[in-house]
């Protein structure tokens, strides 16, 4: 089950999940700049640097998609290299649609022969629980995960997610409705591969989500460049064996575009800068969880 694989990865490397986000204009010249070829070379070098440092990555599909079919080919190749390196892939595509359209999206990312194979996929539940069913069904069949947007980290998330619905915020009602799906994707570790997005910028809300969904894994954006610290990022994790566990914390710009990386003159020098930034973030998050005694990464 996906949940078991993710918990095994965090037991080794801690909860850091690195976002593979090739922002426009940020790809260094040593890779060829902001072109499909440059994005692919950059992504492959990044995967090589991350192997053995983290267990989970999260490619942002939009930054590949903007380059057309060449960009999607780059995404395919970067993801293939990540799988070969033993990294779990959380594909950030935020799909959400109805009926056969949802089925098509699910097959593209979570199917047995998916062209953009991922270990888990982000989905938007705000068209209704029925839009999630094709994703959850394929996740059950293929040992994959589904990551549902519950309480996101963007400033405008409160416009709708925090609106009251029968005495509780909408995002809480969404999570309550997910209970049967959470049970369907539960692994031997006790956590479910039905993950919830719980932004680090709302730690109290993350704690509330943990109360509502004690068995869900969490994907936590908002750490690092978006302003949240490590303790805020792990606020919604579950306490087990004297430490906090039950999810991953995503960091992108702070670890893939650290200071000085754009000036590196060789790929090796660039990778060394990336590894240093990743180690700092990883150690910061491990310290916040109190799980130092469990981890095996050095």
Question: Which pLDDT tens digit goes with each residue over 243-288?
Answer: 999 999 999 999 999 998 888 999 999 999 999 999 999 999 999 9
Q: Look at residue 87 in the predicted model and tell me its pLDDT.
A: 98
User: What is the C-alpha end-to-end distance of the chain, expressed in Å?
Assistant: 27
**pLDDT by residue (tens digit) across 132-171?**
999 999 999 999 999 999 887 777 766 666 666 677 777 7
Instruction: Kindly tell me if the per-residue pLDDT of 226 is higher than 90.
Output: no
- pLDDT tens sequence across 37-88: 999 999 999 999 999 999 999 999 999 999 999 999 999 999 999 999 999 9
- pLDDT value at position 29? 93
HEC assignment per residue over the chain: CHHHHHHHHHHHHCCEEEEECCCCCCCCHHHCCCCHHHHHHHHHHHHHHHECCECEEEEEHHHHHCCHHHHHHHHHHHHHHHHHCCCEEEEEEEECCCHHHHHHHHHHHHCCCCCCCCCEEEECCCCCHHHCHHHHHHHHHHCCEEEEEEECCCHHHHHCCCCEECCEEHHHHHHHHCHHHHHHCECCCCCEEEEEEECCCCHHHHHHHHHHCCCEEEEECCECCCCECHHHHCCCCEEECCEEECEEEEECHHHHCCCCHHHCCCHHHHHHHHHHHHHHHHHHHHHHHCCCCCCCCC
Give all domains of the chain, ordered by start, each with its CATH number: 2-289 (3.20.20.70)
Q: Average pLDDT of the chain? A: 92
Per-residue model confidence (pLDDT) at position 134: 95
**Predicted pLDDT of residue 169:** 79
At residue 22 the predicted structure's pLDDT band, cuts being 50, 70 and 90, is very high
pLDDT of residue 292: 76
Task: Tell me the average pLDDT across 182-194.
Answer: 96
At residue 23 the predicted structure's pLDDT band, cuts being 50, 70 and 90, is very high
Catalytic member of 94, 186, 240, 294: 94
pLDDT value, residue 154: 72
294: annotated active-site residue = no
Task: Give the pLDDT mean for 226-246.
Answer: 89
What percentage of residues in the chain have a pLDDT greater than 70? 94
């Amino acid at each position: 089950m996906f949940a078991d694989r993710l918990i095994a990865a965090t037991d080794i490397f801690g909860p850091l999940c690195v976002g593979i986000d090739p922002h426009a204009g940020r790809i260094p010249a040593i890779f060829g700049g902001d072109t499909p070829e440059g994005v692919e070379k950059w992504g492959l070098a990044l995967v090589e640097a991350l192997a053995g440092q983290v267990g989970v990555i999260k490619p942002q599909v939009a930054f590949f998609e903007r380059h057309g079919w060449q960009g999607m080919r780059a995404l395919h190749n970067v993801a293939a290299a990540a799988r070969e390196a033993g990294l779990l892939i959380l594909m950030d595509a935020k799909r959400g649609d109805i009926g056969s359209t949802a089925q098509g999206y699910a097959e593209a990312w979570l199917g047995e022969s998916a062209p953009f194979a991922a270990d888990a996929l982000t989905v938007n539940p705000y068209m209704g629980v029925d839009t999630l069913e094709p994703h959850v069904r394929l996740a059950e069949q293929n040992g994959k995960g589904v990551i549902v947007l519950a309480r996101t980290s963007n400033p405008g998330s409160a416009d709708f997610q925090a609106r009251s619905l029968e005495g509780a915020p909408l995002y809480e009602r969404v999570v309550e409705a997910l209970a049967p799906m959470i049970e369907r994707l539960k692994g031997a570790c006790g956590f479910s591969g039905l993950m919830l997005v719980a932004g680090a910028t709302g730690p109290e809300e993350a704690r509330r989500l943990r109360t509502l969904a004690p068995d869900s894994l969490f994907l936590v954006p908002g750490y690092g460049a978006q302003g949240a610290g490590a303790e805020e990022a792990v606020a919604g994790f579950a306490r087990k064996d004297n430490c906090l566990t039950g999810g991953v914390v995503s960091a992108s710009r702070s670890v893939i575009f650290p200071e000085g990386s754009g000036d590196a003159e060789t790929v090796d020098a660039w990778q060394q800068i990336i590894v240093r930034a990743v180690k700092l973030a990883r150690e910061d998050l491990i310290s916040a969880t109190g799980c130092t005694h469990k981890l095996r990464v050095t």
